[in-house]
Amino acid sequence: MDLLRRSGYSVEYHHLGSRQEIDTFKANHDVATTPQVFIGDRRVGGYDDLRRFLGKPVVDPKATSYRPVIALFGITLLMALAASFAAHGTPFTIRAGEWFIAFSMAVLALLKLQNIETFATMFLNYDLFARRWVPYSYIYPFAEGLAGILMIAGALTWLSVPIALFIGTIGAASVFKAVYIDRRELKCACVGGSSNVPLGFVSLTENLMMIAMAVWMALSVWK
């Protein structure tokens, strides 16, 4: 209703107070959802229909977008800076960089695990190892999450480093082959099976970050 008011319309709101009233309204007007907007005697429709009527852009839910990835990395970066400030009194430390990658791995794993079946289906489209051994597509999110959590804690480096190196190297090779050699246009499973992020630079970056983190931690331990 706020959109109508900001567009100069006076609004009269008719509240549907019960499930029966809602179902009757839907049946009478042959609509699937409420609320519905009427301007005079004309039914405009729902929110997206109203935006079109007013000449405003409408987001295509099927369109590819980097917004989920930007939001994810932005939040994990702020988390890393906050954790560094709490632990060391300054947000700008080497540990903040390590935490940024580790937090990102853990959150990326969480998003994949929201709907692991859909993730696995998308992952099988391009991952070289998963196409040879299907269970790997289900193991991958757990492995990524475990490596990320261990790296956050700085514990069991002997386990987190090989895991990150293994899944990161295979992932980077798979994305590079699919996108830059085979020239395939695929959706990335990096932020879960429901995303519309295109497979390419972002997914390659995710895997290169894991490799870099694993190498860095390995070198830190061996010093």
* One domain, residues 39 and 107: no
Three-state SS at 187: strand
Sequence length of the chain is 223
Residue finishing a domain among 53, 77, 92 = 53
Q: Which residues contact 73 (CB under 8 A, 6 or more apart)?
A: 104
Q: Does 151 reside within a domain?
A: yes
Q: Which of 221, 209, 217 is nearest to 106 (CA)?
A: 209
Low-confidence ranges of the chain (pLDDT < 50): none
* One domain, residues 21 and 100: no
The secondary element (H helix, E strand) that includes residue 53 is: helix 47-53
* One domain, residues 48 and 71: no
Q: Does 27 reside within a domain?
A: yes
* pLDDT on residue 62: 62
Q: Does 24 reside within a domain?
A: yes
Torsion 71-73-75-78 (CA) sign: negative
* pLDDT on residue 223: 57
Q: Does 60 reside within a domain?
A: no
Total-model pTM: 0.75
* One domain, residues 44 and 72: no
Q: Does 58 reside within a domain?
A: no
User: Residue 145 sits in which domain range?
Assistant: 67-222
Name the token pair of 178: 């699919």
- Cα dihedral value 96, 98, 103, 109, nearest 10: 170
Q: Where does 114-193 have alpha helices with state H?
A: 116-123, 128-132, 136-153, 157-175
Contact 130, 140 (CB under 8 A): yes
Scored b (16 or more CB within 10 A) or e, 186-197 reads: bbbbbbbbebbb
* One domain, residues 116 and 211: yes
Which residues partner with 187 through β-bridges?
198
* One domain, residues 103 and 125: yes
Q: Does 111 reside within a domain?
A: yes
* pLDDT on residue 158: 92
* pLDDT on residue 16: 80
* One domain, residues 39 and 108: no
* One domain, residues 76 and 124: yes
The secondary element (H helix, E strand) that includes residue 214 is: helix 201-222
Neighbours of 15 (CB within 10 A): 6
* One domain, residues 43 and 105: no
Neighbours of 30 (CB within 10 A): 7
* One domain, residues 121 and 213: yes
* One domain, residues 94 and 177: yes
Q: Does 62 reside within a domain?
A: no
Q: Does 76 reside within a domain?
A: yes
* One domain, residues 140 and 198: yes
Q: How many domains does the chain have?
A: 2
* pLDDT on residue 177: 93
* pLDDT on residue 7: 82
